Amino acid sequence: MGERQTKAVKVAEFLADHDGVISTDQAKSLGMSHDEVYGKSTAGLWIRHANSTFLSAEHRMTDIALVRTAALAHGGVIDRTSAVWLHGLTDELPTPITLSVPRTAHGAACAVDTQVRRRTFPAEDIATVRGITVTARPLTVLLGSSALRDGIDMMDAALLRRLVTLRQLRAAADRNSGVYGMAKARKLLASAEDLSESELERKFVRFLRRHKIDGWLQQQYVGGHRIDFVWPEERIAVQLHGWAFHHAHAQWERDQEITNMLVNIGWLPLIFTWKRLEFAPDEVLRELCTAIELRRNVG
């Protein structure tokens, strides 16, 4: 095999391994000249998506190709929602592609829709996934929790699956205390670290008193099971749930057993989570008040 053929094979293998995305510098490292790169582009074999970043015409612009193109074009670190996807913590890639570049970096023309922030992360919070520079998983979980609509669920799932630990999240938060979006992430982290059943119940008591809801009793037994809050006259039972990663499967099974028992004896079971009490209290209030009103009207 001649030198030209060998070079062509190397380039083809590189494109196959990198989802069809290649930069001018990467092509040159494989032995291509500037004229050869220019020739590929003008012949339509490589489609330019940034000043020096191309997609092979033999490849589709997939989600991972979009992320690669943005990272190469800007020379940045994939972070926030795009990092969540790259780490496999969500199934769909949100848009735009999110990344960060050093404050001294110059702007880059890129056809891919991107959201770029200027900041530098500590070395401990940088990782490589599929050859792409990305924030490490703990920092990704923190920044993603504040950027995604369901960020708290993503953090909870990552803890439940033991993809990250509270200690790792705390260390990453402390190293990046001034990063945009960290304030909300730290609030969620503090809750995950410290929220106990008693604290959650006290939060619900404050909620009930603030809205002048009466008729309830706390920590009562119904059908042999202890219920967090009950409205005995209306036969309503409220159970409070915190973070899923705190609960074992056995607890989940007991919760189902209690719910079924309550229904079978004519009670109305309601479940409210810390997440909803914290971020959607109006919904909780509406659901609870509707339930109380309906049961009183029936009675």
Same domain, 226 and 271: yes
CATH code, domain carrying 294: 3.40.960.10
Q: Are 145 and 188 in contact (CB under 8 A)?
A: yes
In a domain, residue 86? The reply is yes
User: Based on the domain organization, do 180 and 113 belong to the same domain?
Assistant: yes
- Asked whether residue 222 falls in the same domain as residue 285, the answer is yes
Q: What is residue 50's predicted lDDT score, i.e. its pLDDT?
A: 87
Reference 95, options 66, 131, 129, 133; nearest CA is 66
pTM (two decimals):
0.81
Please state the domain count of the chain: 3
Among 177, 192, 207, the domain-final residue is 192
Which residue range is the domain that position 282 belongs to? 197-298
Decide if 63 is inside a domain.
no
Q: Do residues 162 and 233 both lie within one domain? A: no
> Residue 22 in contact with residue 46, Cβ under 8 Å?
yes
Look at residue 54 in the predicted model and tell me its pLDDT. 96
Q: Report if residue 115 sits inside a domain.
A: yes
Evaluate whether residue 166 is within a structural domain. yes
Is 79 in the same domain as 186?
yes
Residues 166 and 239 in one domain: no
Rounded Cα gap, residues 154 and 164, in angstroms: 11
Query: One digit per residue, pLDDT tens: the chain, 299 residues?
Result: 567 788 889 999 999 999 999 999 999 999 999 999 999 999 999 999 988 899 999 999 999 999 999 999 999 999 999 999 999 999 999 999 999 999 887 767 788 999 999 999 999 999 999 999 999 999 999 999 999 988 899 999 999 899 999 999 999 999 999 898 899 999 899 888 877 778 889 999 999 999 999 999 999 999 999 999 999 999 999 999 888 877 765 677 788 899 999 999 999 999 999 889 988 999 999 999 999 999 988 75
72-91 residues labelled b (16+ CB within 10 A) or e (exposed): bbbebbbbbbbbbbbbebbe
Residues 249 and 212 in one domain: yes
